[in-house]
């Protein structure tokens, strides 16, 4: 249960960090928050067996703001877990 809360908070931190970095990318002295890259397969691999079809794809966008948000929310999750006494 404790690990699930920490993972959920880290994913939430990445999403919030990405949103903040994208919204602040037009500000000249905060544009460094949107520096990053994309990792993964954008076009999914399709396996067609005529009666069953699989689509496999994975894509992650990583920015400096997203990593900062993930770290902050990860630390916040530790506080929440301690507060809930799990």
pLDDT number for residue 26 = 87
Contacts (Cβ under 8 Å, ≥6 apart) of 22 = 34, 63, 65
pLDDT number for residue 28 = 86
CB 15 within 8 Å of CB 72: no
Q: What are phi and psi of 23, to 5 degrees?
A: -75, -25
Domain ranges for the chain: 2-84
CB 38 within 8 Å of CB 59: yes
pLDDT number for residue 85 = 84
Any idea what the Cα angle at residue 61 is, between residues 72 and 69, rounded to 5°? 10
pLDDT number for residue 70 = 94
Which helix (H) or strand (E) covers residue 49, if one does?
A: none
pLDDT number for residue 65 = 92
Which residues of the chain fall short of a pLDDT of 50?
Answer: none
């Amino acid at each position: 249960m404790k690990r699930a809360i920490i993972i959920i908070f880290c994913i939430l931190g990445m999403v919030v960090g990405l949103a903040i970095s994208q919204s602040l990318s037009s500000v000249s002295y905060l544009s460094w928050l949107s520096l990053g890259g994309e990792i993964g397969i954008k076009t999914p691999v399709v396996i067609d067996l005529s009666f069953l079809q699989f689509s496999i794809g994975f894509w992650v966008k990583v920015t400096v703001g997203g990593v900062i948000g993930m770290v902050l929310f990860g630390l916040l999750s530790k506080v929440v877990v301690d507060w809930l006494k799990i």
